[in-house]
Amino acid sequence: MKSVKYITHIKNVKGLTDKEKERLSKIEDKFTFRANEYYLGLINWDDPEDPIRRIIIPTEDEFVEWGALDASGESKYVRVPGVEHKYRDTALFISQDTCGAFCRFCFRKRLFMHENKEVTRRYDEGIEYIRNHPEILNVLITGGDPLIMSTPKLEDLIRKVAEIPHVRIIRIGTKIPLFNPYRILEDSSLTDMIQRYSNGDKKIYLMLHINHPRELTRQSRQALKILRQSGAALVNQTPMIRGVNDHPQVLADLFLQLNMLDVPPYYIFQCRPTLGNKTFAVPIAEGWNILEQAKDRVSGLGRRARLVMSHKTGKIEILAVTPEHTVMKYHRNADPANRSKVMIYKTNPEAFWLDDFEEYKAWLKQEGLEGDTDPYTYW
Measuring CA to CA, how many Å separate 332 from each of 126, 129, 136, 329? Answer: 22, 21, 14, 9
User: Does the footprint of ligand SF4 cover residue 330 (CB under 6 A)?
Assistant: no
CB atoms within 10 A of CB 209: 22
Q: Which residue from 53, 54, 160, 209 is in contact with ligand SF4, where contact means CB under 6 A?
A: 209
- Name which of 41 and 349 has its Cβ closer to ligand SF4: 41
Cβ 298 to ligand SF4 shortest distance, Å: 24
DSSP strands (E only) in the chain: 6-7, 35-36, 78-80, 83-87, 90-94, 138-142, 169-174, 203-208, 233-239, 265-269, 306-311, 314-321, 325-333, 342-346
**C-beta separation of 261 from 271 below 8 A:** no
Q: Which residue from 57, 103, 258, 298 is in contact with ligand SF4, where contact means CB under 6 A?
A: 103
User: Does the footprint of ligand SF4 cover residue 99 (CB under 6 A)?
Assistant: yes
User: Does the footprint of ligand SF4 cover residue 106 (CB under 6 A)?
Assistant: yes
**C-beta separation of 101 from 107 below 8 A:** no
* Listed ranges 99-107, 213-221, 223-231, 338-346: which one lies at the site for ligand SF4 (CB under 6 A): 99-107
User: Does the footprint of ligand SF4 cover residue 175 (CB under 6 A)?
Assistant: yes
Q: What are phi and psi of 355, to 5 degrees?
A: -65, -10
Number of residues that bind ligand SF4 (CB under 6 A): 9
**C-beta separation of 15 from 82 below 8 A:** no
Q: Which residue from 102, 197, 266, 352 is in contact with ligand SF4, where contact means CB under 6 A?
A: 102
Cβ 98 to ligand SF4 shortest distance, Å: 8
Please give the full DSSP string across 107-131, using - where no structure is assigned.
TTTHHHHS--TT--S--HHHHHHHH
Cβ 74 to ligand SF4 shortest distance, Å: 12
Of the candidates 171, 190, 151, 293, the one whose C-alpha atom is nearest the C-alpha of residue 237 is: 171
* Listed ranges 100-108, 125-133, 316-324, 345-353: which one lies at the site for ligand SF4 (CB under 6 A): 100-108
- Name which of 56 and 284 has its Cβ closer to ligand SF4: 56
- Name which of 272 and 329 has its Cβ closer to ligand SF4: 272
**C-beta separation of 216 from 261 below 8 A:** yes
Cβ 32 to ligand SF4 shortest distance, Å: 9
* Listed ranges 16-24, 96-104, 198-206, 263-271: which one lies at the site for ligand SF4 (CB under 6 A): 96-104
Residues in the chain: 379
User: Does the footprint of ligand SF4 cover residue 185 (CB under 6 A)?
Assistant: no
CA distance 318 to 355: 14
CA distance 69 to 273: 8
- Name which of 35 and 285 has its Cβ closer to ligand SF4: 35
**C-beta separation of 344 from 357 below 8 A:** no
- Name which of 310 and 333 has its Cβ closer to ligand SF4: 310
Q: Which residue from 85, 108, 160, 171 is in contact with ligand SF4, where contact means CB under 6 A?
A: 108
Q: On the CB side of 244, how many CA atoms lie within 13 Å of its CA? A: 26
User: Does the footprint of ligand SF4 cover residue 7 (CB under 6 A)?
Assistant: no
User: Does the footprint of ligand SF4 cover residue 244 (CB under 6 A)?
Assistant: no
- Name which of 214 and 329 has its Cβ closer to ligand SF4: 214
Cβ 370 to ligand SF4 shortest distance, Å: 30
Cβ 303 to ligand SF4 shortest distance, Å: 24
User: Does the footprint of ligand SF4 cover residue 54 (CB under 6 A)?
Assistant: no
Q: On the CB side of 282, how many CA atoms lie within 13 Å of its CA? A: 22
User: Does the footprint of ligand SF4 cover residue 145 (CB under 6 A)?
Assistant: yes
Cβ 55 to ligand SF4 shortest distance, Å: 8
Question: Which distant-in-sequence residues (6+ apart) come within 8 Å of 63 by Cβ?
Answer: 27, 30, 276
Residues lying near ligand SF4 in the complex (CB under 6 A) are found at 99, 102-103, 106, 108, 144-145, 175, 209
